[in-house]
Amino acid sequence: SPNAPEFYDLCDELGIYVIDEANIESHGYITSLCHDSRYLAAWMDRGTRMVQRDKNHASIIAWSLGNESGYGAHHDALAAWIRNYDPSRPLHYEGAIMGWWDRPQSATDLLCPMYPEIAEIVAWSKNAAGSLNGDLPLIMCEYSHAMGNSNGTLGEYWDAIEANHGLQGGFIWEFWDHGLRQQLPDGTERWAYGGDFGDEPNSGSFCIDGVVWPDRTPKPAMYEHKALASPIAVEARGVTGAQRGALRITNKQDFTDLKWLRCEYEILVDGVAVARGKASLPEVAPGKSAAWSIPYVLPLAPKGAEGFLALKFMTARDTEWSERGFTVAHLQIPIALRSERSAEPRPLVERVEISGETVTAGSVQATFGGGESGLTALSINGVDLIDGGPTLSLFRAPTDNDEIRPMRGMPTPAARWRRWGIDSLLAKPGNMQFRRMGDAVTARQSIEWIGNDGVAFLHKRRFEFDASGVLRVHEELSVPERCNDLPRVGVHLNLPSSLDHLEWYGLGPHETYPDRARGAAIGRYSTRVADEYVPYIRPQEHGHHTQTRWCALSNGRQGLLISAPELFGFS
């Protein structure tokens, strides 16, 4: 807990729940100091001073006996003192149940595991009635490690928390990156961390583990948490409710109605807003739901177009923590659109021409070869669109959490990938085989990718180039059974640097991943390639966009549009 009294004053004023934790941690000696009588006085001194200092703060709902300091007689002594001095608040201590959730003990009133798996907390909820500590509320003392590009599966944790009795949430470790501004000899600045000042020993980037940067700017993961902490939930009433504007709204707050909020809506067709308006919110008591109707008219849309009702909830007035108009939550509900008559399809180019390994369809030309990409050139009107064709991509820059050892003696995920050799696979490409099929030409190729220690991947690829100038690429990969945790399965495409205009239809605007996509919105986004860089303090994988319908890269005149039969990701 911070020593700054202003923090507790703010929490009192804003209504933020606080578990006040004693400044006790003996991580390096976790099994010994809690039993060593020479440390008892220090243990008691730190815990009792905290309680006496902060006892009158209404924001404090529980006392914590410390963090990562084992479990011994010192904890029981401190727990007894606090229970006698302040019987009004429960106690929290993870060490008392560490590795033994139904352990007989008297030091904690909360079941507070550290980094449990989702399946563990769900199983506990379902079987708690038969457990010694089954009546304790489960609040994870830490459950999502915000180091670098991380916080995956926050949404899945909250699906479990909201669906299962007794699961009350948890604490993300932690709020902000503890980087220090450092000026380098060339005049540039960076956020520095362990070792950057010549300090030895150090813990490297282990202090760079927050959901905001050192200057408190939110990281992409913070938007994920914001969406999951939304005070409002909205769903359609019935199968066709969203089309008719018939909704159900739930107030997820415990004490407050919705009068402090206002709502605006948009109707999106393939990511573009075609109608918008304001929606009056009904009266909804805390924890309750109510029917809600928005009287909008659905527009006609091209056949197959995708529709969403996008809702944005904002503060209706200035608050103690925000200005009027601050966006508190945005929600999107799929809607079926009314289809207009579809346009006539564009006529195909009359014929695909083949000359050696070069295939031409009107202004589009492709050249194939027998290398690891299979495609050596692609152009439109003589303008090159690629520097190198699609190659297998199984590796990515490891994240900070990829480099953390899961248990003593086990290899890190990144070390395992390197041991398999997927960061330096050797390609053994087969010859390209051509075949004309009606108004299209196909080219097939097989490639064996060799790693380390007998690891090998069989990769089959088929190109289809039709008379409309569309190039379809079919990829098939056989993965060895032991390589069950690949960091990526995809293709890598080298493009000219002139194609720096980026547009996409999918989740955005910030980066998203398959396990961290709740905080983004479906829409059409336009930016430049350089702006996709996410400045993680220790450089690592970044800038991915999942649930993409299509993306396009161009020089402002010509370019590539990439789509797939199903939703895909790109970076």
DSSP code string of 64-93: E--SS----HHHHHHHHHHHHH-TTS-EE-
- Residue among 86, 63, 59 nearest 75 (CA): 63
Q: Could you give the angle at the alpha carbon of 113 between the alpha carbons of 111 and 119, nearest 5°?
A: 105
| Burial of 491 per CB tally in 10 Å (0-12, 13-18, 19+) | middle
Structure tokens, 171? 């604490």
Residues with Cβ within 8 Å of 433's Cβ and at least 6 positions away in sequence, in order, are 443, 444, 445
- Catalytic-role residue among 13, 21, 25, 68: 68
**CA 25 to CA 33: how far, in whole Å?**
10
Q: Give Dmax (Cα) for the chain.
A: 90
Whether 264 is catalytic is no
- Pick from 384, 374, 414, 419: which is nearest to 396 by CA? 414
Torsion of CA 293, 299, 305, 306, to 10 degrees: -20
Sequence-separated (6 or more) residues with CB below 8 Å from residue 133? 97, 101, 102, 103, 111
Q: 21, 94, 142, 511: which is the annotated catalytic residue?
A: 142
Residue 269 corresponds to which tokens in the numbers above?
Answer: 């067709």
Measured at the CA of 545, the angle between CA 544 and CA 548, to 5 degrees, comes to 150
Which residues 6+ apart lie within 8 Å of 553 measured at CB? Answer: 495, 499, 500, 501, 502, 529, 559, 560, 562
**Total residue length of the chain:** 571
Instruction: Note if 68 is an active site residue.
Output: yes
Measured at the CA of 254, the angle between CA 324 and CA 6, to 5 degrees, comes to 60
Q: Which amino acid does the sequence have at 109?
A: D
Give me the active site residues, please. Answer: 68, 142
